[in-house]
Each structure stands twice: as structure tokens, then as C-alpha cells.
Homo-oligomer: A and B are copies of this chain.
Amino acid sequence: MPVNYQATPAERLHPIAGLRIGTAMAGIRKAGRRDLVLFALDAGASVAGVFTNNRFCAAPVQICRRHLAAGGAIRALVVNTGNANAGTGAQGLAHAQRTCVAVAGLLGIADTAVLPFSTGVIMEPLPVERIEAGLPAAVADLAPAHWAQAAEGIMTTDTVPKSASRQLVIDGHTVTLTGIAKGAGMIRPNMATMLGFVATDAVLAPALLQPLVEQAAQASFNRITIDGDTSTNDSFVLVATQRAGHAPITSLDSPAGRLLADAVAGLARELAQAIVRDGEGATKFITVCVQGGRDAAECRQVAYAIAHSPLVKTAFFASDPNLGRILAAVGYAGIADLEQGLIDLYLDDVHVATRGGRHPAYQEADGQRVMKGSEITVRVDLHRGPAQTEVWTCDLSHDYVTINADYRS
């Protein structure tokens, strides 16, 4: 069960003009579940994405990068769950390519106008013929209102579909953003997460789309971790259908540009946090805030050391204020000249440690009270500079082991 998160009702997911969604049950890994999702974009849409830094990036990620780099119009996105098509060598690339060709044939577009995405088990051959067989049903199903089905169709070990939608007004015109994501395990995005799709009907210079998606990823998917495992398939894609009717945005630093960038980042953060709330076995949502660093990079280093420590994560699971484990993680984060005698540690409003040691006024009962909650903020002050950052993670529970020790989860 996710931590304080429920699926967004379908009627609250606003359609995006110029974008239709169709899903199908292709039986890729299991029969009787929605496992194929197709996004069809009308001509004129702009698309940008960020992808995993994993050097074992999946075949579809390689094809996406190639098709986006070619610079032609993107007219369709196709997503399968049940198989990651990663660690599949040359055959995997051929399979991803065949998927694009099949979509292109059905929609009457170029195969380089298709971006393919896969999620699921690694190093097993993609059953591409099942995808080919399932695609006609997905095409027949295409409709603007199918965001909820799409959110369901990209799930793997997720227990709840993740989606978000918001509207803002630019230049007197309503601009809509809607997005979906999936996560659960192998989550420590390093560029983006597996998989996030956000679409908007905003009108903007196509060249702004790439910085927009990168900024949003930095503020959202690149700040979460469940198990520290960076997936082979992480992809976060932003589609702008350019239909909202307002004057085109030509700079992200303009008032309208900032409004849109904040909305995209906010929606991405909502989806990213939903992934953590539904992390494999998660029972708590932990915000790790590191301040007083010399630069953001060292704040991130410390924040991730805490967020990845199995000892810290099991202590959260147990609601045990065994907070020395947090200090130990700060200490091994890799900052060679860190002064332990300067460090402050807070748990929500409780001042736990000061000058590297237990705060004289700290009572275990106070730590215990905070640890029992399902939303906890850890704050570390390094007292060596002006930088700060925040990452989001969950605890490490028996269910994480159960889920991942299930034969081929």
C-alpha cells in the first residue's frame, strides 16, 4: 500500500488537445492485463526527453535518443510493460525498431516519428510479435480521455497508478498539463525515472522543451531514490501539443515561461513523490534535506548517502530513533574535509544532534514520536556553506525483500 497516496480519479485527469491515448492487453508477460500503451500526437507537437545514464541503457532508450536526435517530428509514443528489452544486445535493438515500424504502419507516419519505451524484466527477449499483434487494438482505442488507462498500462510492481493534472492561465488562455509515471523498484533515477510522461497544450518555442524537461527532472525525478538502483530504462518525456492558443512562450525566463516551468516541475514532483510513496514495500515517506553545504553537489552526496543506507532505512521501518546511523552515513558520504564537530541533525522539529554529538536537550521520546509518523523530514546542517538540497525516499521493509525475492518479480 502506498504511503498517503491514492490514484487520481480519471475525471480529474484533463485531456490534452492534440493528443490521444489507446491501450491494449497484448499478453506480453501475463494475460488479461493492460500492458501496451500508445500515445498519438497530432502534427505540430513538440517532444523532448531525458533518459537514464545507465551505460546498460535499454534498446528502446537507444532508439528514442536516435529518433529525437534526428530532429524530425515525433508523432507517437509506444510503451510496453512486462519486459524491459534491456541487456538484449543487437536483437533487442532490432525488436525496438520493429515496434516502431509496426506503429508507423498503422498510423501512416515515419518509423523515426515513433519513440518506443519498455519496462519489466531485464535480459529476456522482447516478445515483439505480441506487441505487433496487440497494436491494432490500441490504435482502435485512441481517445483523448484515456490517461487513467495509460497510467495503469505502464505499471509493473506499482500497487497504484500514478497520474497528475493541473491547469494554469497564460495570457488569458487555460493551459493544461497532465502526466503519468511508474516506479516501484530499481529507482534511483539519474536523469529521469522509468517512466514519466507529461503532456501540455502550452504554446512554446520547440527549442525550450529540452531545457524545460531537464529542469523539471532535476527538481523531481532526479531527487528520488528507493533502492539506489539506477534503472536501464529511465525515461521522462515532455510533450507540448502547442494548442492552448496563447502567445508563444519564447523564453523560460519570461513571466509566462516561469509560470509554465513551475507548473511542469510541480507536476513532475507530484509524480516523482508518488513513485516514492508507492516504493516497493514502503511504509514511510522520508524527506532528506541537507543544508549548509559548499555546493549543491556535496549536499546531494550527503542526502543520498542517508537515503541509501540500509541501516537508516530499516531504522525508519522500525520507527526506531537509532539516529547515530544517520550521522554515520553523513560521515561516509565522501566529503574528505567534513568537520564532524560542526554538524547539526534535526528530525522534523526535534534537534537531535549539535556539534557532532547528541543535543543535551534531546530526549529519546521526542525522536520516537517523530519516527512513528508516516511522513518524516531529516534535516542535516553541515555549516560549511550556503547550498542546500532535498531528496525523497522511503524505508526498507520486509515487503521490499519479499517483493524482490519473489521469483522474477
Bound-state CA distance A125–B408 (Å) is 46
Bound-state CA distance A160–B269 (Å) is 47
CB pair A408 B228 closer than 8 Å: no
Bound-state CA distance A404–B318 (Å) is 8
CB pair B328 A86 closer than 8 Å: yes
B residues less than 8 Å from A343 (CB atoms): 56
> Within 8 Å of chain B (Cβ to Cβ): is A128?
no
With A87-B357, A123-B353 known as contacts, the answer to whether A320 contacts B229 (CB < 8 A) is no
B residues less than 8 Å from A331 (CB atoms): 54-57, 230, 232
Instruction: List CB contacts (< 8 Å) of A45-73 with chain B.
Output: 53-57
B residues less than 8 Å from A230 (CB atoms): 328, 331-332
> Within 8 Å of chain B (Cβ to Cβ): is A341?
yes
> Within 8 Å of chain B (Cβ to Cβ): is A335?
yes
> Chain B interface: which of A147-155, A172-180, A235-243, A392-400?
A392-400
Residue in A229, A318, A331, A406 whose Cβ sees the most chain B Cβ within 10 Å: A331
Q: How far is the CB of A192 from chain B (nearest CB, A)?
A: 14
Q: How far is the CB of A46 from chain B (nearest CB, A)?
A: 29
CB pair B123 A323 closer than 8 Å: yes
CB pair A311 B227 closer than 8 Å: yes
Q: How many copies does the complex hold?
A: 2
> Within 8 Å of chain B (Cβ to Cβ): is A351?
no
Residue count of chain A within 8 Å CB distance of chain B: 72
> Within 8 Å of chain B (Cβ to Cβ): is A127?
no
CB pair B311 A357 closer than 8 Å: no
> Within 8 Å of chain B (Cβ to Cβ): is A373?
no
> Within 8 Å of chain B (Cβ to Cβ): is A349?
no
Among residues of B, the one whose C-beta sits closest to the C-beta of A120 is: B324
Q: How far is the CB of A179 from chain B (nearest CB, A)?
A: 25
With A123-B353, A310-B227 known as contacts, the answer to whether A401 contacts B398 (CB < 8 A) is yes
CB pair B55 A332 closer than 8 Å: yes
B residues less than 8 Å from A311 (CB atoms): 185-186, 227, 229, 404
> Within 8 Å of chain B (Cβ to Cβ): is A90?
yes
Q: How far is the CB of A319 from chain B (nearest CB, A)?
A: 8
Partner of A121, one of B90, B322, B332, B407: B322
> Within 8 Å of chain B (Cβ to Cβ): is A361?
no
Bound-state CA distance A112–B266 (Å) is 58
Partner of A358, one of B123, B186, B322, B338: B123
B residues less than 8 Å from A339 (CB atoms): 55
> Within 8 Å of chain B (Cβ to Cβ): is A287?
no
**Contact flags A382-405 to B (C-beta < 8 A → 1, else 0):** 000000000000001110111011
Bound-state CA distance A392–B46 (Å) is 49
Partner of A320, one of B314, B338, B408: B408
CB pair B320 A405 closer than 8 Å: yes
Q: How far is the CB of A266 from chain B (nearest CB, A)?
A: 28
B residues less than 8 Å from A374 (CB atoms): none
CB pair A332 B122 closer than 8 Å: no
CB pair A314 B53 closer than 8 Å: no
Q: How far is the CB of A202 from chain B (nearest CB, A)?
A: 33
> Within 8 Å of chain B (Cβ to Cβ): is A88?
yes
Q: How far is the CB of A276 from chain B (nearest CB, A)?
A: 15
CB pair B87 A358 closer than 8 Å: yes
Closest 5 CB pairs of A and B: A89-B357, A122-B324, A56-B331, A123-B324, A318-B405
18 contacts between A and B (CB under 8 A): A55-B330, A55-B333, A56-B328, A56-B331, A56-B340, A87-B327, A87-B340, A89-B341, A89-B356, A90-B355, A90-B357, A123-B323, A124-B324, A185-B311, A227-B311, A228-B308, A314-B400, A318-B405
